[in-house]
Structures are given as structure tokens and as C-alpha cells.
Amino acid sequence: TQLLEQSPQFLSIQEGENLTVYCNSSSVFSSLQWYRQEPGEGPVLLVTVVTGGEVKKLKRLTFQFGDARKDSSLHITAAQPGDTGLYLCAGALRNDYKLSFGAGTTVTVRA
């Protein structure tokens, strides 16, 4: 069983629409990171959140860390074809510095 459950697994939307990806767990994380990965390449870090209730914005991307530090969400406003990719959430448990990854959400934005 995965420590982090990501949903949905696949998401296909039209350019200009909004989307939200969820990352849930029963465990408490000291930090949670979101990555985007292109096929055959390494994941690229988008954001790190460390404080419960924290909201971070990166242009059209909004990241939220749950108050209890067990869940997170990624919201993309007015999606563009360039947002297409595999989105991964990853969390580090307290005193355990390795990252546990969710299975990922494959996002396809159609022009």
C-alpha cells in the first residue's frame, strides 16, 4: 500500500479549464513536495510546503498543505498545453528524510 494516495490517476482537459490534483494520507508529514515529470526525464521540483494550512502560489499553480499536514492539493487555473505531464506528490515523515511518492497523476491539456 502507498503512503500517499493521489487522485485522479488520469486527467484530460481542454485548454483554459481548471484542474485539481489531490494527495492524501493517514500519516503526518514534516514536508511535502510537488514535482512534474516529463517522459524519460527526472522530476522537476515545483514547490515544497512545510507548515500546516500553508498556501503557495506559482503563477497559475496553487498548492495547499492541509492543516494536519496529512494531505495536499495542486490547483491549476486556465491550464495550457505546456502543463501536460506527470504530477507527483512526495512527502517526508518526521525524522525520516527519504521521500515517499504518490503514484502520480497524468495530466493532458488539449489545445
| 58 Cβ contact partners less than 8 Å away, ≥ 6 residues apart | 46, 47
Candidates 17-25, 33-41, 53-61, 69-77; binding stretch for other proteins (CB under 8 A): 33-41
Is 101 a residue that touches other proteins (CB under 8 A)?
yes
Residue 98 is placed in which grid cell? 527519504
User: 3-state class of 20 per DSSP?
Assistant: strand
The verdict on 99 binding other proteins (CB under 8 A) reads yes
Out of 61, 79, 90, 107, the residue judged to bind other proteins by CB under 8 A: 90
Among 40, 59, 82, 111, binds other proteins (CB under 8 A): 40
Type of residue numbered 110: R
Whose cell is 498543505? That residue is 65
Q: Are 35 and 87 in contact (CB under 8 A)?
A: yes
The residue ranges that bind other proteins (CB under 8 A) are: 2, 30-31, 33, 35, 40-45, 48, 50, 88, 90, 92, 96-104
